[in-house]
Chains A and B, each alone.
Chain A
Amino acid sequence: MAPFDLVALLGVTGSYLVYLGIGFGFGFILESSGFGDSRKLAAQFYFRELRVLKVMFTAIVVAMLLVFWASALGLLDYDEIMVKETWLWPGIVGGLIMGVGFILGGYCPGTSLVSVATLKVDGMFFLLGHVVGVLAFGESVGYINEFWNSSYMGRFILPELLGLDTGVVVLLVVCLALVMFLGFGWIQRIIYGRGDPE
Chain B
Amino acid sequence: MNELSDKIRYWNPYVGGTLLGVLLFLSFFLTSHGLGASGGVNRIAVAVQDIVVPEHVDKSPYLAQMAGGDMDPLRHWIVLEVVGVLLGGFTSGMLRGRVRLQTYHGPQITPHTRWAFAFAGGILMGYGARLARGCTSGQALSGGAVLSVGSWAFMFAVFAGGYGLAWFVRRLWQPGA
Contact = CB atoms under 8 A, between A and B. Distances in A.
Contacts of A84: 34, 133-134, 138-139, 142-143, 146, 148, 150-151
A65 B172 CA distance: 38
A190 interface: no
B69 interface: no
A108 B138 CA distance: 11
Contacts, number: 542
A23 B161 CA distance: 28
A133 interface: yes
A181 B59 CA distance: 49
A76 B28 CA distance: 9
A18 B23 CA distance: 12
B87 A24 contact: yes
Interface residues of B, number: 123
Contacts of B78: 19
B117 A104 contact: yes
Contacts of B126: 101, 109, 129-137
Interface string A113-125: 1111111111101
Contact of B14 (A58, A102, A107, A197): A58
Interface string B74-104: 0001101111111111111100101111111
Interface string B120-146: 111111111111111111111111111
Given A19-B81, A32-B10, A66 B104 contact: no
A127 B99 CA distance: 17
A45 B162 contact: yes
B80 A19 contact: yes
Contact of B127 (A27, A87, A134, A196): A134
Interface of A: 2-4, 6, 15-16, 18-34, 36-40, 42-46, 48, 50-51, 54-64, 66-67, 70, 75-76, 78, 80-88, 90-123, 125-139, 141-142, 144, 148, 153, 155-161, 166, 169-170, 173, 196-198
Kindly list the 8 A-B residue pairs having the minimum CB-CB distance in the complex, ordered from nearest.
A105-B121, A99-B161, A23-B84, A133-B126, A129-B122, A62-B21, A58-B17, A94-B132
Interface of B: 6-8, 10-11, 13-14, 16-35, 37-38, 41-42, 45-46, 49, 60-63, 77-78, 80-93, 96, 98-106, 111, 114-166, 169-170, 172-174
